[in-house]
A and B are shown apart, each in its own frame.
Chain A
Amino acid sequence: MRSPRTMISIGAAFVSLALVLAGCGGQGDDAAAENGTGTFKLWHYESANGAMGKAWDKAIEVFQAEHPDVEVEFERKAFEQIQQNASMILASDQAPDLMEYNKGNATAGLLSSKGLLTDLSDEVSSRGWDKMLSPSLQTTARYDEKGVMGSGSWFGVPNYGEYVMVYYNKDLFRQYGVAVPKTLDELTKAMDTFVAKKVTPLGMAGAEYPAGQLYYQLALSKADRSFVDNYQLYKGPVSFDSDPLKYGADTFREWVDKGYVSKQSASLKAEDMGTAFIAGKTPMIVSGSWWHGRFASEIKKFQWGTFLFPGNKLNAGSSGNLWVVPEQSKNKKLAYDFIDITMRPEIQTILGNNGGVPVKADLSKVTDPKNKELIANFEAITSADGLAFYPDWPVPGYYDVLVAGGQSLINGSKNPQQVLTELGKAYEQGVSEIQNG
């Protein structure tokens, strides 16, 4: 047994070490505040070896070369930390000068309505960023005074895009003699072929976003722009007991009944769906461009490709996350300069060459054929004004309602009509809360 004296001295050592460290922290912060003109604090949460990580690393280099007297303080943050604490951090003097933040009413919109983000409208027009972004990309960058996207001032600048498509396993398609479908009919016929051979054609994950996105994707096949405006931007009433949403839920249920989607997938996570595709067990998955880079580096055993959801003019997708400038930023000018650098063709090309979806791509500089296909498909969507955002966006907390609905559709615990009623109830309640402030 150790003597009390040793225990006390160990304790004293800990405490004094703690005080020294805490002291250091305090001094460092003060110094940063004093010569604030000399440092540029930048946060984002993209992984270092992903498309955005690589492109923005290069952007930091360029920025450093153009601002030799500025010290760049870059930190890669945990997504969850920004997600949970952004409003607390931005309300304190610890806010960065520029950070990446999630787009949408519940995130960037909420912060902008609390006055925590800088209005970028003047910079956007004087630096010409608006000319680089198509209308549906601009939607998620602008928020009105209630924090509803689509109109009002610019509070963010997107640097990349994302959209939902179909990933398919070329080897399995060849093995079962299936051609790439061009219409929804051809898609169902292709899935019939797989089912006849006892292969479940479509990977699914009921416990997370994929089910909601497939339901939305199916609804969009019967929808036009005015439906999207009504559903996402509250421009008019949305009916939950007629098409297109009724078609989405009914068809989803039909696909489960026909065996296109496994009944066991109700409790699976998106990660399970993705790894099953990587393992070559699933012919197709309907999911977003965020998988593209990972599939490119991890699928070694078979050939794969992508196609747009057959027949759809509208597709789930949006701008990527936004650059936002906190109101507390001490160096807004440097933040604008950095955004400007990331919008340059050279940085956008790096994004495109690493499996990202640039907002303004120079396709001739993108070398890999798969990346080219990915970007060309995105341009096809945006040039037809076809980004329809995501089904869970309109109402805070709607994601969980959609997941519950999707699970009921997959395991058959409720019929499509009941699911739609629940989705409608939560939607209307949420929208009326937003509109009445």
Chain B
Amino acid sequence: MTTLTLTRARATRRDPDRYKRGVARWVVLALVAFTAALVLVPFAVMLMNAFKSPADYSGNGPLSWPESFQLDGLKTYWTQVRFEGKLLNSIVIAGAVAVLGVVLSLLNAYALGIGRVRGRLWIVAAFLLANMIPQEALIYPLYSMAKATGLYNSRLSVIIIFTVIQSAFGTYLLASVLGTFPKALLEAAALDGAGRWTTLWRVVVPTVRPTLSVLLIFFFIWTWNEFFIPLVMLVDNSTQTVPLALASLQGDRLMDATTTNAGALISLLPTVVFFLIFQRTLTRGVTAGAVK
């Protein structure tokens, strides 16, 4: 995802000298196009195999052109895993985590970056730990806590866990962004009689909104793709998310390659749509400066 984003950002940036610098620019363009093509190859293979029959796949290999276009894989996948339910679960979980995670990160970062709390370096380091510890090490404590609070096998448990994990990264990032927040703006707000709360919502948030939007999108996509913690926490098929539905196609010793490809295709679409909708915000956020 990130590679795609970066290439795009590079390719669409306007430059008045574009046609005047000669060969070098075309070499760069060719390189970018080549990288983009490399990124797209796995998707192309997935797309091709999603429409094959299992016999066609096994007989002619994954790289051949489909003998006939079949929608069976897509249909089987959709009905077998009851995809609409998983989609709703994923949207609710990823959406809630994205919003709550951004709010939590913002409040933390406001205290650390602008409030300049004592020992903030250590606090930020502690937050980063949450991101650095492998999830496998967290899982047993999380499982015991969820069981004790009656949240095991509920979507709320996953929402809480990921809100905390994502906001750990968000706090780290936003704290350093707000650490360089222009003093002039804060002083002006204070002179106008704004309190801390008003300063946060009227001055800080509008200024860093592009960064917040980027965080929101990243949190959404990261949470959407999470596998391990949802796998452990969400037991019932009715509470599970899209990546878990995909995993249910992989058997003990056999795999159903065409259905898996079809499933991957359907499961990828929502994130692509989400990305396309917010793509403008994303590029703007990456290039946004702090002072207007």
**Interface residue ranges, A against B (CB under 8 Å):** 1, 4, 10-11, 14-15, 17-19, 21-22, 25-26, 29, 45-48, 75-81, 84-85, 88-89, 92, 94, 102, 209, 270-271, 274-275, 278-280, 288, 290-291, 294, 297-301, 321
Contact = CB atoms under 8 A, between A and B. Distances in A.
Contacts of A79: 248, 250-252
8 contacts: A4-B206, A14-B99, A21-B88, A22-B155, A46-B251, A79-B252, A94-B235, A270-B253
A14 B60 contact: no
Interface residues of B, number: 50
A424 B85 CA distance: 49
Interface string B139-175: 0000100010010111110010000000000000000
A48 B209 contact: no
Interface of B: 54-55, 57-61, 80, 88-89, 92-93, 95-96, 98-100, 103, 143, 147, 150, 152-156, 159, 201, 205-206, 209, 231-232, 235-239, 244, 247-248, 250-257, 281
User: A-B pairs with the 9 shortest C-beta distances?
Assistant: A11-B99, A78-B248, A22-B156, A278-B58, A14-B95, A18-B96, A298-B55, A275-B58, A78-B247
Contact of B237 (A22, A75, A278): A75
A279 B250 contact: no
Interface centre among A18, A48, A77, A89, by most chain B C-beta atoms within 10 angstroms, is A18
A354 to B, nearest CB: 14
B247 A279 contact: no
Contacts of A288: 253
Given A14-B95, A79-B252, A85 B231 contact: yes
A299 B59 CA distance: 8
Contacts of A291: 254
Given A274-B58, A290-B254, A298-B58, A15 B155 contact: no
A18 B248 contact: no
Contacts of A75: 236-237
Contact of B255 (A271, A279, A298): A271
Contacts of B147: 92
Nearest to A11: B99
A290 B253 CA distance: 7
A48 B239 contact: no
Contact of A275 (B61, B96, B206): B61
Pick the most buried of A15, A21, A271, A279: most chain B CB atoms within 10 A of its CB.
Answer: A21
Contacts of A275: 57-59, 61
A88 B99 contact: no
Contacts of A11: 99-100, 103
Contact of A15 (B59, B100, B244): B100
Given A279-B60, A298-B59, A301-B59, A14 B231 contact: no
A288 B252 CA distance: 12
Given A14-B92, A25-B154, A297 B54 contact: yes
Contact of A81 (B150, B152, B231, B256): B231
B236 A94 contact: yes
